[in-house]
Amino acid sequence: MEKILTKKSFPAWVKNLQSYTVYAPEKQENLWSYEVIQNPDKINLEYLNTVLAPKKITYPQREIFLQFNTSKEGKPQIKEVLPEEQPAVIFGVRPCDAKAITLTDKVFGEEPKDPYYWSRRNQTILVGLTCNPPPSPNCFCLSVGGSPHSKEGLDILMTDMGDKYHIDSLTKKGEKLIKAAENLFKPASPKDKKELEKIQRESEKKIKREIKDIKNIPDKLKDMFESPFWDEEAMSCIRCGICTYLCPTCYCFDITDELTSTLPLKGKRVRTWDTCQFPDFTMHSSGHNPRPDKASRLRQRILHKFQYHVENYQDYLCTGCGRCISLCPMGIDIIEILNKVRDYE
Amino acid sequence: MVNLEEIKKEAKNILEEGKVKYIIGYAKSSNALMAAPTFVKKPEDIDKLIWDPTCFQNLVKFLLDEKRKKAREKEPDIRPVGIFVKGCDSRAINVLLQEKFITREDVYIIGLSCEDLGVLDEKKIFKKLKGEEPEKIEFDQRKNIVISTKEKTIKIPLKEILAERCLECTSSFPVISDVFWGDRNNRSPKEPFKSLEQIESLSQEKKWDFWQQQLSKCIRCYACRSVCPMCYCDECVVDSINLAITADTTAEEKSQKIKWIEKSPESSENFGYHLVRAMHLAGRCIDCSECERVCPVDIPLRLLNKKLEKVAKELFDYKAGLDPEQPSLVSSFKDEDPEDFIR
């Protein structure tokens, strides 16, 4: 269902969504971040890439699985904690970040389905925004099968058309949001649709960075596991977690027990994000570490995204948001690495 | 003046003579505003080397990797590593020498003076560009930076966009080196601790609120620790990598492995991490402020270290990294110390 909404009416629409927790990009000091919006009049959809992807909402960095304590008689009590189901809408989702959520959906959707992830995910509505212009100079969604106006994973795609938005409702969840304030929307005219196509074509031309012949890369990587290439490329890596924590597709986690008291035993079992870039990620209890150095960890990041995930799910585990490039303190650039892989002899 | 061609000539010579294993320097990266570390092994690759105010990184961090690599090899190449160092970076080398983490023979120091400048602060530049992306940059006579974006070309005086630490720097030239370029003029900034003024003026409650808000942003990516040349512990307080478990390790031993700081990015844990780090850097931090530069969520970490630097200066007249032979701040005392507990 294609509709038109004037920019003036946008806050009125959001005000009609009171039964939802509404998130939108908000500028905090110098950085953009998805935050809960109290005042819809203040939503600014002309934003650059947020530091953290909306993954931080659908798959938070920390969540409690269960609580445990021992009673006076020494009996252990365990209580499962599921996220409180609260319907949420995220405005201003970039198409790359929405696509990323479809990738984590597949991973957490494998049997047995992850109830923690899904109780939150099922309640989340994603309202996207066509990227025109691209929000980062390192955007490369076109190279990994995406586009600045891709609808994949979204419930609604909004496109900025000057003084109005084109609103493309893509799912039942999206319809429901529009029904909440139906009188604000007008049907899109054939002229609007033509204008939309033009904007979308232009938005693609503005993406400057590219991985050429990416389809050859997964096969190429298979023969490069033992290559000294990784030692060279990882020389400048400092093994921080920026590239993976900011990645909208990275989903690795750790589960730990956090004690608040030892006698009586009390605490929580929590899941927190973890990353293949940290030395203790693969540390065995014996002290042996199968990925002992930063070269093997950089290799893991690239191979997971461009070989293993392709083998397991027929898709790259990368949606071209460019965050890992823009924020790497040492200038490590995944596009340059993959272009080198492609040309490696 | 620092002459890049002369540096390249020296780099080529030492590589050809086999005097160094390789040279850690700077090269261009895909980000016009930031150089990237580069590791030059062959004389024919020296043309990648650059030297300008985009050379932010403190390359001394990579000496830690080199040390660990050498420790793993059966017959390591014991030749020194050539390394580009700025004034602040050279103080990091001095602290590593002072702490006997490296020896003087491990490094061949290519000292480069920042002279009257320093390095850029990307955040200050982005503010000036108002959202436009830099496509090309040029330096005009060490006075201005000329930035071309899609829309326009703008000229900004370098002094307006230098990193805070460079504006407060008292010794902008390497204090230890094997070869050296540029001047050795001491700077005397009027207010070397100016960046602390605002936070110091706050009440205790306001300070607490400020840090509560700042540290709650931390996502525990540990980039601040990972980039710090002083953070070389094999096991960091936040890691749990060194508990080797054998067939004889009991469940009790495993459970008694103390976890000082949980993985959760909760406020209390974030405070634990950042304050432990700050305390471990007292009298060691040489103010390269890389921790603050790399923080993806813009936590002003330099304030913590700068405060400790000020305390060390005021109470003990101590400045880190000026001399590899000086006793370290926290492992020495003076007879005239007014406190009794020390004796």
At residue B248, the pLDDT reads 81
Is residue A83 located within the same domain as residue A136? yes
CA distance A180 to chain B (A): 34
Given A205, A231, A248, which residue is the final one in a domain? Answer: A205
**Considering only CA atoms, which of A340, A342, A315 is closest in space to residue A146?**
A315
Residue of B nearest to A257 (CA): B262
Amino acid present at B5: E
The verdict on A164 and A246 lying in the same domain is: no
Boundaries of domain holding A45 = 2-205
Residue of A62, A238, A327 with shortest CB distance to B227: A238
Residues A87 and A153 in one domain: yes
pLDDT in tens, A66-86: 999 987 777 889 999 988 878
The span from the CA of B211 to the CA of B301, in Å, is: 10
Domain boundary among A158, A180, A205: A205
Which residue's structure tokens are 């000496």? B63
pLDDT for the residue B242: 59
Q: What is the dihedral of CA B312, B316, B321, B327, to 10 degrees?
A: -130
Q: Is the pLDDT of residue B338 over 90?
A: no
Average pLDDT, chain B: 92
Chain A residues inside the 8 Å CB shell of B245: 285-287
Interface contacts A/B by beta carbons within 8 Å: 111
Same structural domain for residues A9 and A78? Answer: yes
Q: B270-317, pLDDT tens digit by residue?
A: 999 999 999 999 999 999 999 999 999 999 999 999 999 999 999 999
Given a cut of 70, is residue B157 above it in pLDDT? yes
pLDDT above 70: residue B245: no
Is the same domain home to A71 and A173?
Answer: yes
Taking a C-beta distance cutoff of 8 angstroms, is the pair A1, A178 a contact? yes
ipTM value of the model?
Answer: 0.94
Looking at the structure, tell me whether residues A22 and A111 fall in a common domain. Answer: yes
Shared domain check, A260 and A142: no
Q: What is the mean pLDDT of residues A16-36?
A: 94
B5-29: average pLDDT? 97
Which of A32, A11, A7, A29 shows the shortest CA–CA distance to A135? A32
| Minimal C-alpha gap between B316 and chain A (Å) | 33
Whole-number percent of chain A with pLDDT over 90: 88
* pLDDT above 80 for B126: yes
Residue A103 sits in the same domain as residue A240: no
- Return the number of other C-beta atoms located less than 10 Å from residue B184's C-beta: 14
Task: Tell me: do A247 and A121 sit in the same domain.
Answer: no
Q: What is the pLDDT of residue B255?
A: 66
Contact B227 A48 (CB under 8 A): no
User: Domain end: A205, A236, A268, which one?
Assistant: A205
Q: Where are the domains of chain B?
A: 4-121+162-330, 122-161
DSSP structural state of residue A228 = T
Distance separating alpha carbons of residues B4 and B181, to the nearest angstrom? 9
Dihedral sign, Cα of residue A109, residue A115, residue A117, residue A122: positive
Q: How much of chain B, in percent, has pLDDT values that exceed 90? A: 76
Residue in B38, B222, B263 nearest the CB of A272:
B263
**Residue given tokens 């990294």 in the structure block:** B321
| Residue B141 CB burial class (10 angstroms; 0-12, 13-18, ≥19) | exposed
Which DSSP string corresponds to B311-342?
HHHHHH---TTS-TTSPPGGG---TT-S-STT
| Residues sharing a CB contact under 8 Å with residue B115, sequence separation 6 or more, in sequence order | B1, B2, B142, B172, B173, B182, B183, B185
**Residues contacting residue B81 through CB under 8 Å, at least 6 positions apart:** B20, B21, B22, B23, B24, B63, B66, B106, B107, B108
Contacts of A52 (CB under 8 A, 6+ apart): A33, A34, A245, A246, B219
Q: How far is A183 from chain B (nearest CA, A)?
A: 36
